[in-house]
Amino acid sequence: MKLHPLFKSLALSVALVSSVWAVQDREFKTTPVMRLETRTLVQMLEYFHYNKGAVTSADYPQLISDYMKELDPQRLFFTATDEQTFIRQYGQRVETDLAYLGNIDASFDIYQVYEQRVKARTTWIFEQLKSDWDLKAQESYAPDRTKASFAATTEESDDLWRRRVKYEIVQDILGKKTEEEAKTTVRKRYERMLKNISDIEPADVQETFLSSLTRMYDPHSAYFSADTLQDFSIQMKQSLVGIGAVLSLEEDGNCVIREVVPGGPAYRSGQIRMNDKIIAVQQDGGENIEVIGMKLRRIVDMIRGDKSSKVTLTVLPHDATDASKTKQVLIVRDVVKLNAGRATATIYQVPVAENKTTPVGVIVLNSFYDSPAEASNKPAASAEVESGGTATQDVAELIRKLKAEGISALVMDLRRNGGGLLPEAVNLTGLFIDKGPVVQVRDSLGQLNVDSDTDTSVAYDGPLVVLTSRFSASASEIFAGALQNYGRAVIIGDSSTHGKGTVQAVLEMKNYLPRLSQNVGHTGGAKLTVQKFYLPNGASTQKKGVIPDISLPSIEDFLPIGEADLPHALVWDEIKPTFFEGKPLTPTYLKPLLEASRERQNSLEEFAYLKKNIDWFKARQDEKTISINLEQRQTRKTSDDEFKKQLDAERDLLAKANYASREIKLDSVLKAEATGTQEAVATLDDDGDTDTPIEGPTSKLDVHLRESLRIVTDALRLNSDPHYSASSAAPETPIKGLNKSE
């Protein structure tokens, strides 16, 4: 392929590394199978995608920029001139190339320039590392450049890289390395980048380019190469063999934990949470290998392993304000322990008057799961699982046990519930309402299906709170939103839930190729958004999520973890309500609950502690640049460590006032414990620290749960107040007599 004149100046520097980093010849050009797949994908997007009209001919040139940013997410290798040149060269013809010719040669041309730039820049870095570095200069660097522009000139690019390398050296020194050790680490990092880029195959480039196209429709759609499609059951189902986590790659090349499978080894460690980043992987007794920029398939292979073998992950927590705040987590690979991920219950003794408490039940549900016998989509390699019931069956059993213990109110904790099976969300809603529609599902053709609870039995009709967070997504939003529509529960939590109100389907390409072309060998697939969720009142849960009746201050509100933070996210909208017997709790009922909570938020020490934590975190988040002066960074680190130590001391002191509590367990869990097969499960507090469950008051502080317990006891008092009920007798549920207009 002829190299564009703009890039001929790179030939000399590229030659310097060609002998060291020689790779096997890879033919970067569109193959007949790629042509078929590309044309078919465009047709699938135009026919099956929910947002089928989102991309027009005028939008196609943007694909060139989007693809460049997929290759170079930190805007470090390409320049603004490159972007202008590529758009001018390929922008006007890219729609014809893809939709009619199936030609993706433009992606290969751009990629090969990118590969040359990486090699040339790496050679430059190796030379720079031989020099002495001035770590006393008053300079700064912006670590997150995902929203920045490409450098305008070569000089600007060189200066940007000089500061980036210095930033990395300072980071490693803060991690207790000497300057020379830090330089060695940085060199190894870029040697590994060269190795990673030499492993890129034409199918990988095709996948990146065509996924850039699908993401113009929405952020959850993607093209899968044949290899990725084959690995899909491992990467996207309920467990990753070995640790029990679902992984994906971010734009900046970081490997991110998208889901921690309840019951898996990662979950049981108590040290890994959704949106944490895996920086490096170390086999037992082996080298700690950085995985930034590595292909997801290779990372997955490194983390997989035999049962009882060990792997150490270097993890950057999702709420870390400094890239040096990594931690190493040792995980023993194992099968998924489903009992550990099932619903759990606790009874708390909540003060309601001087020397008087009332028992309140809390059920924690982290996913809407089915029983293992019916969950046939689990990978064969993790076939050893423990038997268990569905989410609805388990919650119903726990409710029976809690009622037998005489609870006066119930809290459903869905803060870590990322979703699961929609039928389970419908069935679980049915435990709290008489009957009626729970969710409306609309497809791209506008066809509407209403899923309803048809069982008139009610498992629990007492005062109810649903506790949510920004991590509550998909099916959990349907559950919370439906109960809010019916006025059956007070919703409490972050400013909103996650906001994922769409459904994706994986379509194998071979089933949609022209009939005469279906014997072409291995083909890929497409994950496309095909449906959208709506609540009974017609409101979508997409993007906005479920807005709580009472919001509590939270660090998560300042993290880019919601659907609204994703580019090209589908819009929020409404459809016609379906008929249902119920309506939201009135302001008359909610206002005193909200006022009482706000008063506590302004007066209690635990909220002062939480606010202090949030303010500090937000201040760090708002800093777009960070000093690369070593002395200043060391001073900052010392200050941050001291602040964290003070916060920990405050938290431990406040935790001494935790309410007395007692666990209520499922029969199958009790049986497993009796036979010695049940393992202890680590728990997480507000700061992500770990501890194991104990009898009596828990030893960690959970501000949101404590406030939810207070609010539900406030609701108890309202229910006994004649002003809020239809008669002087307390209603059995908040919905009865509390939905009248003001």
Residue 174 CA neighbour count, 13 Å, CB half: 26
Question: How is residue 166 written in tokens?
Answer: 């210095």
Phi, psi angle pair for 578, to nearest 5°: -95, 160
Query: What confidence tier does 269 reach under pLDDT thresholds 50, 70, 90?
Result: confident
In the predicted structure, residue 339 carries a pLDDT above the cut 60: no
In the block, tokens 């890219």 appear at 94
In the block, tokens 């007949």 appear at 32
Task: Quick: pLDDT tens for 61-78.
Answer: 999 999 999 999 999 999
Higher pLDDT, 217 or 11: 217
In the predicted structure, residue 265 carries a pLDDT above the cut 50: yes
Contacts of 315 (CB under 8 A, 6+ apart): 271, 272, 276, 277, 278, 279, 326, 327, 328, 329
Distance CA 92, CA 503 (A): 32
CA distances from 690 to 180, 269, 386, 528 (A): 35, 8, 24, 38
Provide the 10 A C-beta neighbour count for residue 28.
19
Task: Quick: pLDDT tens for 630-674.
Answer: 999 999 999 999 999 999 999 999 999 999 999 999 998 888 778
Task: Quick: pLDDT tens for 242-253.
Answer: 687 778 777 566
Higher pLDDT, 175 or 233: 175
Q: How many helices (H) and strands (E) does the chain have?
A: 20, 22
Question: How is residue 369 written in tokens?
Answer: 């799961």
Percent of the chain with pLDDT over 70: 84
In the predicted structure, residue 703 carries a pLDDT above the cut 70: yes
In the predicted structure, residue 379 carries a pLDDT above the cut 50: no
Nearest to 334 by CA among 400, 261, 417: 261
In the predicted structure, residue 311 carries a pLDDT above the cut 60: yes
Question: How is residue 79 written in tokens?
Answer: 């320049």
pLDDT reported for residue 742: 30
Task: Quick: pLDDT tens for 387-413.
Answer: 458 999 999 999 999 999 999 999 999
Query: What confidence tier does 113 reach under pLDDT thresholds 50, 70, 90?
Result: very high
What number of residues does the chain have?
A: 742
Distance of CA 123 to the CA centre of its chain: 36
Distance CA 368, CA 422 (A): 8
Higher pLDDT, 731 or 719: 719
Task: Quick: pLDDT tens for 447-490.
Answer: 999 999 999 999 999 999 999 999 999 999 999 999 999 999 99
Q: Is the dihedral of CA 153, 155, 161, 167 positive or negative?
A: negative
Tell me the angle at which helices 62-71 and 80-90 cross, rounded to the nearest 10 degrees: 140
- Asked whether the beta carbons of 439 and 381 are under 8 A apart, the reply is no
Provide the 10 A C-beta neighbour count for residue 443.
14
Rounded mean pLDDT, 356-373? 87
Average pLDDT along the chain: 85
Distance CA 732, CA 105 (A): 67
Contacts of 548 (CB under 8 A, 6+ apart): 468, 491, 492, 493, 494, 495, 496
Query: What confidence tier does 258 reach under pLDDT thresholds 50, 70, 90?
Result: confident
Nearest to 214 by CA among 108, 73, 55, 83: 55
Instruction: Judge residue 140's burial from the number of C-beta atoms within 10 Å of its C-beta, 0-12 exposed, 13-18 middle, 19 or more buried.
Output: middle
Give the chain's domains with CATH numbers.
5-30+55-214 (no CATH), 222-332 (2.30.42.10), 586-660+697-742 (no CATH)
Rounded mean pLDDT, 536-547? 97
CA distances from 314 to 186, 240, 318, 332 (A): 16, 17, 13, 14
Question: How is residue 270 written in tokens?
Answer: 């108590």
Distance CA 379, CA 238 (A): 8
R_g of the chain, CA atoms, integer Å: 27
Distance CA 479, CA 471 (A): 14
In the predicted structure, residue 350 carries a pLDDT above the cut 80: yes
Q: Is the dihedral of CA 147, 148, 149, 154 positive or negative?
A: negative
pLDDT reported for residue 719: 79
In the block, tokens 């135009």 appear at 46
In the block, tokens 């322990």 appear at 337
pLDDT reported for residue 334: 78
